[in-house]
C-alpha cells in the first residue's frame, strides 16, 4: 500500500498538474494529479461547499412502495421557526393537461417525476422538500409534513408485472426485444438448460449525494454537483423547472467515485427549486439511507437458457429468455436490455440464436446504468451454461471455450460483424497458461488464508479449491443510433497548455489522459485541465468508456490543429512541408536532422488555440428481429478465478483472479491495471456479498452495515497476465475502454470456481453460504 509520504515523493518525481511528468506523453504512467489530495483527505467534494446565507434542504420520501397521495398538509412544517420554504409537485410546472405531474424526466423516457404527483411508485420516492436555516430544522420540518396515503398493492415480482394492472400511464413493459437468427428447427446432440438469477447490486459510492444551488440575478440557478453529465443534467433540470437551458449552469465538483449515474435528477431539480423559491443558496447532503433510495442500481435479472451443441461441444443453437426488473421508472432499461440480448451468447460463435428479452416496470427501486449493464447478467448465465456443457461433453472448461470462441470478422447474433480486434482465443490462452497459486495448507503460517480466517469455526479438512474460467464482452459508447460527440479546446500560451473539455473525470483518469495526449502531440510539459461545467461545449456522460474514445479523440484533434499552426511557419522558413517535422521529448526536429529546436523556444510569445469535435461512426437501432449494426466497438476479457470453499460452512475465499484484457493500446498502463483491479473487486462483490434486498418493495438493508461491500481482506490477489494491444483502427489512438469488462466477467469466473470446488450448480448471484454447502 502506498502511504501519503510515498505519494508525495512520487508527485515530486513525476510532477503535478502544472509540471512535466515522466515518462512523457502517451504510453507512460504518470501519477494522477489528484492522488495526493485524495490520499490526504483534502480533496474538495460537493459536501464541502459553502455559501453566504446558506440554507439546508431535506426531502420527504415515501414510506410505501406503492400508494395514492390523497392530500399533503405542509402547514405545520411551514410554521416551524427557521423554515423558509416547503415545495411539492404543485410547485413545479404543470403537465400538458394543466395538472401537476411532478415534471417527469429521464435519460431516455420522461416518466420519473421530480416530486411524486398523485401516486408514489417505489419506496423512498421524493414527495416534498424543505429549506431551512439548519439541517436539523430541515429534517424536523420534513417530519411535520402530513401526507394522506392510500396504500396500493405493490408489484414486486417482475414476472407478475406482465399481468398486473398498469403501474404507470405508460404501462408495465419498458421493452420487449426478440432476437432471431438462423434456423429455429436446429438442434444439437447435447442439450443443457439452466435458470439463473442476478441480484440488485448498488454502486454504493463512498460519498453520498450532495450539492449546492445558488439563485442567479436573471432568475436562473447555478448548481454545484458531482455530476457525470453536466450538459444532460443541465438540460433536464431546465426542462423540469420550465427554464431556458442558458439560465441553468451546472458546475462539476469533485466526484467521489462513480460506477454509475452519479445523481438521480430529482435531487438536483429539487435543490434548484428550493433555491429559486427562497432566493438563497441551498445545500443538501443525503444520509446513507437516502443515498441508497435516490440513485439507481443494477437491474436484477432472471435468465432461462438452453444450449444445443454437437457431440464435441460446438454450439449449434442458443435459446434464452431474459427478464430485467427495471423498477418503477424506465431510466436506461431499454439500453441494458439491448446489451443483454445482443451479448446473450457471449464471445462465442453460434449459427442459430433465439432470444426473447423483456424489461418491465415494478414497484421496486429504479434500476439504471452500472458498469456493463445487461452484459454482466448475460455473462453469468452463458458462462454457467458453458461449464455445464463442458461437463456433459467430458472436456475441461478451457477446452469447451477454445472450441467456440469468436474472432475478428465473426458475426454477433444481431448480424453485426465484429470488425474491431477480437483476440478472444489469445486472451483465454493467456490466463490458462499462468501458474496457479500455492495451497494454504502447504504453509503452516498461512492459516489465516483459509475461509473464515484464523480461529474460524471451520475444519481445514473441509476446504476445497476450485478453478473457474469466464470470457466477457461489453460494448463501448452509446448504441442503437445514439449520437456520440465530444468537443474540446486546446490553448497554448508560451510553455504551457490548457485543455477545456466538459468530460468529467469520475475516477477513470481522463484528466491524466488528456494531459498525456497534449504532451505527446505538442511536446508541452505543463498542461492544465480546466474544471468541467455546462458553459463549455458538450462532451457527454461519463459512461461506457466514452471519454477515452470520444473526448480523448476531440482533445487529440484540437492538439493536432494547434501543432499544425505551430509547425507550418517553421517549415516554411526552411522550405519544407510541416509533415517533415516531428515533435518528440519536447523538441521539434526535421526528418534530416538539420532542424532541432525546443518546443518552448518555438512557442515563445505565441498564443495558439483550436477547437475540435470527435464523433464515432453511426450505429442503428435493432430491428424487430434484433438485427442491426447497433454497436461502435466491443472490448473483451478473459479471467481465471481460484477460490477456496469450506463445503461444510459455505464460506468462500477468492484466492486469486488472473486477467487478460483486450485494451487496443495501453495509453497509461498503470491506470489500466488500476481500473482492472477496481472492476474485479466490484465483480467479486456481486459474486459473494453485494445484494440490495427488498421485502415487499421496501429496502431491507440501505446502509453500509447491511449492504456488504468487499473490503481489502475480501479482495483477492489480482494478476494481470496480459494487456493485449491490437489497435482498433476506428478508435482514436486505437485504444479500448477497460473498466466495465472486468466487472462483467469477474462474477461469472468466481461462480465457475465455486461450482468447480463444490460440484453444485450455482445459479444465483450473489452466492450465499447455503449455495456452497455440499453436505
Nearest to 128 by CA among 55, 185, 77: 77
Bridge partners (DSSP) of residue 55 are 282
pTM confidence score: 0.92
pLDDT digits (tens, 9 = 90+) for 678-714: 999 999 999 999 999 999 999 999 999 999 999 888 8
Element (H, E) at 225: strand 221-225
Q: What is the 3-state secondary structure (H, E, C) of 526-580?
A: EEEECCCECCCCCCCCCCCCHHHHHHHHHHHHHHHHHHHHHHHHHHHHCCCCHHH
3-state secondary structure of 177: strand
d(CA 613, CA 407): 32
Residue 510: name the closest of 295, 739, 299, 731 by CA.
Answer: 739
241 three-state secondary structure: helix
Q: Quick one: which of 196, 192, 195, 194 has its CA closest to 389?
A: 192
Grid cell 461449464 in the structure block, residue: 387
For residue 764, the cross-strand partners are 197
Give the CB-side neighbour count of residue 451, counting CA atoms within 13 A. Answer: 26
Report how far residue 29's alpha carbon sits from residue 26's, in angstroms, rounded to the nearest whole number. Answer: 8
| Sign, Cα dihedral of 762, 768, 774, 775 | negative
Strand 587-590 versus strand 581-584 pairing type: antiparallel
Cα(441)–Cα(267) distance, integer angstroms: 52
Residue 610 has a pLDDT of 93
Furthest-apart CA atoms within the chain: distance in Å = 85
Could you write out the DSSP letters of every residue in 308-335? EE-TT--EEEEEEEEEEE-TTS-TTHHH
Nearest to 725, CA basis, from 675, 774, 669: 669
- Give the integer Cα–Cα distance in Å for 486 and 480: 18
- How far, rounded to the nearest angstrom, does the alpha carbon of residue 162 sit from its chain's CA centroid? 29
pLDDT of residue 633: 92
CA gap 223, 249 in Å, rounded: 6
Please give the Cα distance from 213 to 221 (Å, whole number).
Answer: 7
Instruction: Quickly list H helices, 242-353.
Output: 265-278, 288-294, 333-342
Residue 226's nearest CA partner among 368, 51, 46, 37 is: 46
In the block, which residue shows the cell 442558458? 246
pLDDT score of 506:
77
Shortest CA distance to 277 belongs to which of 106, 132, 137?
132
Q: Which ranges constitute the DSSP H helices of 622-735? A: 669-688
Q: How far apart are the first and last CA of the chain?
A: 40
d(CA 585, CA 11): 20
Low-confidence residues of the chain, pLDDT below 50?
1-21
**Residues 550, 737 contacting (CB under 8 angstroms):** no
- Could you give the C-alpha distances from 205 to 202, 258, 267, 416, 707, in angstroms and in order? 9, 7, 16, 36, 12
| Cα-only R_g, the chain | 27
Kindly give, in sequence order, each residue whose CB lies less than 8 Å from that of residue 120, ignoring residues fewer than 6 positions away.
62, 64, 65, 66, 67, 69, 127, 149
Cβ–Cβ contacts within 10 Å for residue 12, how many? 11
Is the separation of the CB atoms in 205 and 257 below 8 Å?
yes
| Separation between Cα atoms, residue 546 and residue 357, nearest integer Å | 26
Say if residues 717 and 681 touch (Cβ distance below 8 Å): no
Is residue 125 within 8 A of residue 116, CB to CB? The reply is yes
What sign does the CA torsion over 198, 259, 135, 705 have? positive
Cis link prior to 766 (omega < 30° from 0)?
yes
Q: Which residue has the cell 495558439?
A: 608
Unique residue bearing C-alpha cell 510532477: 15
Task: Output the CA–CA distances (angstroms, integers) from residue 370 to 261, 347, 540, 552, 600, in the order listed.
Answer: 7, 21, 16, 22, 44
Considering only CA atoms, which of 469, 308, 416 is closest in space to residue 633? 416
Amino acid at each position: 500500500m502506498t502511504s501519503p509520504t510515498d505519494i508525495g515523493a512520487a508527485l515530486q518525481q513525476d510532477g503535478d498538474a502544472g509540471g512535466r511528468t515522466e515518462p512523457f506523453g502517451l504510453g507512460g504512467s504518470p501519477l494522477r494529479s489528484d492522488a495526493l489530495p485524495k490520499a490526504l483527505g483534502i480533496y474538495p467534494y460537493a459536501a464541502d461547499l459553502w455559501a453566504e446565507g446558506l440554507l439546508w434542504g431535506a426531502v420527504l420520501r415515501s414510506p410505501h412502495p406503492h400508494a395514492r397521495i390523497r392530500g399533503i398538509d405542509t402547514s405545520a412544517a411551514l410554521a416551524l421557526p427557521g423554515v423558509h420554504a416547503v415545495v411539492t409537485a404543485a410547485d413545479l410546472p404543470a403537465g400538458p393537461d394543466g395538472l401537476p405531474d411532478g415534471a417527469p424526466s429521464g435519460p431516455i423516457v420522461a416518466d420519473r417525476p421530480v416530486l411524486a404527483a398523485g401516486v408514489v411508485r417505489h419506496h423512498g420516492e421524493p414527495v416534498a422538500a424543505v429549506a431551512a436555516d439548519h439541517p436539523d430544522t430541515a429534517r424536523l420540518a420534513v417530519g411535520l409534513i402530513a401526507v394522506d396515503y392510500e396504500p396500493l398493492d405493490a408489484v414486486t415480482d417482475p414476472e407478475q408485472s406482465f399481468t398486473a394492472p398498469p403501474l404507470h400511464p405508460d404501462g408495465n413493459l419498458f421493452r420487449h426485444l426478440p432476437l432471431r437468427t438462423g434456423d429455429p428447427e436446429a438442434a444439437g446432440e447435447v442439450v443443457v438448460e439452466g435458470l439463473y438469477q442476478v441480484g440488485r447490486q448498488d454502486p454504493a459510492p463512498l460519498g453520498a449525494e450532495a450539492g449546492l444551488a445558488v439563485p442567479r440575478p436573471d432568475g436562473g440557478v447555478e448548481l454545484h454537483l458531482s455530476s457525470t453529465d453536466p450538459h444532460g443534467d443541465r438540460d433536464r433540470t431546465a426542462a423540469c423547472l420550465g427554464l431556458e437551458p442558458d439560465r441553468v449552469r451546472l458546475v462539476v465538483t469533485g466526484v467521489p467515485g462513480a460506477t454509475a449515474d452519479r445523481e438521480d435528477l430529482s435531487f438536483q431539480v429539487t435543490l434548484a427549486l428550493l433555491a429559486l423559491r427562497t432566493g438563497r443558496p441551498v445545500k443538501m447532503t443525503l444520509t446513507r439511507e437516502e443515498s441508497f433510495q435516490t440513485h439507481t442500481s443494477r437491474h436484477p435479472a432472471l435468465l432461462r437458457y438452453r444450449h444445443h451443441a454437437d457431440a464435441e461441444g460446438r454450439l449449434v443453437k442458443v435459446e434464452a429468455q431474459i427478464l430485467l426488473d427495471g423498477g418503477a421508472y424506465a431510466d436506461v432499461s431499454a439500453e441494458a436490455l439491448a446489451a443483454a440480448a445482443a451479448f446473450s451468447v457471449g464471445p462465442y460463435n453460434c449459427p442459430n440464436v433465439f432470444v426473447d428479452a423483456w424489461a418491465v416496470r415494478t414497484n421496486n427501486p429504479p434500476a439504471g446504468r452500472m458498469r456493463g449493464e445487461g452484459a454482466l447478467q448475460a455473462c453469468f448465465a452463458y458462462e454457467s451454461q458453458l461449464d455445464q456443457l463442458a461437463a456433459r461433453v467430458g472436456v475441461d472448461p478451457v477446452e469447451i471455450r477454445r472450441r467456440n470462441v469468436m474472432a475478428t470478422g465473426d458475426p454477433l447474433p444481431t448480424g453485426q460483424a465484429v470488425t474491431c480486434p477480437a483476440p478472444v482465443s489469445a486472451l483465454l490462452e493467456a490466463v490458462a497458461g499462468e501458474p496457479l497459486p500455492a495451497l494454504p495448507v502447504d504453509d503452516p503460517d498461512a492459516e489465516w488464508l483459509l475461509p473464515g480466517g484464523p480461529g474460524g469455526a471451520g475444519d481445514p479438512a473441509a476446504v476445497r479449491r476450485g478453478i473457474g474460467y469466464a470470457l466477457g464482452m461489453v460494448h463501448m459508447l452509446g448504441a442503437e443510433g445514439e449520437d456520440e460527440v465530444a468537443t474540446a479546446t486546446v490553448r497554448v500560451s508560451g510553455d504551457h497548455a490548457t485543455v477545456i473539455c466538459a468530460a468529467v473525470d469520475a475516477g477513470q483518469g481522463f484528466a491524466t489522459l488528456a494531459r498525456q495526449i497534449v504532451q505527446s502531440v505538442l511536446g508541452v510539459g505543463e498542461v492544465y485541465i480546466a474544471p468541467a461545467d455546462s458553459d463549455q461545449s458538450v462532451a457527454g456522460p461519463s459512461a461506457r468508456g466514452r471519454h477515452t474514445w470520444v473526448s480523448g479523440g476531440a482533445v487529440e484533434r484540437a492538439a493536432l490543429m494547434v501543432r499544425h499552426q505551430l509547425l507550418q511557419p517553421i517549415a516554411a522558413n526552411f522550405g519544407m512541408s510541416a509533415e517533415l517535422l516531428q515533435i518528440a521529448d519536447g523538441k521539434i526536429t526535421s526528418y534530416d536532422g538539420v532542424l532541432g529546436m525546443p518546443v518552448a523556444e518555438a512557442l515563445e510569445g505565441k498564443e495558439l488555440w483550436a477547437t475540435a469535435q470527435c464523433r464515432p461512426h453511426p450505429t442503428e437501432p435493432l430491428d424487430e428481429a434484433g438485427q442491426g449494426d447497433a454497436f461502435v466497438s466491443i472490448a473483451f476479457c478473459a479471467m481465471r478465478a481460484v477460490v477456496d470453499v469450506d463445503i461444510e460452512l459455505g464460506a468462500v475465499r477468492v484466492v486469486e483472479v488472473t486477467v487478460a484484457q483486450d485494451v487496443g493500446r495501453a495509453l497509461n498502463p498503470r491506470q489500466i491495471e488500476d481500473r482492472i483491479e477496481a472492476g474485479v473487486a466490484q465483480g467479486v462483490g456481486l459474486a459473494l456479498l453485494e445484494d440490495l434486498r427488498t421485502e415487499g418493495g421496501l429496502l431491507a438493508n440501505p446502509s453500509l452495515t447491511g449492504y456488504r461491500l468487499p473490503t481489502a481482506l475480501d479482495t483477492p490477489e489480482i494478476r494481470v497476465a496480459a494487456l493485449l494491444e491490437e489497435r482498433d483502427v476506428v478508435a482514436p489512438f486505437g485504444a479500448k475502454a477497460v473498466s466495465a469488462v472486468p466487472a462483467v466477467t469477474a462474477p461469472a469466473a468466481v461462480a465457475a470456481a465455486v461450482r468447480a470446488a463444490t460440484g453444485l450448480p450455482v445459479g444465483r448471484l450473489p452466492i450465499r453460504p447455503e449455495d456452497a454447502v455440499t453436505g
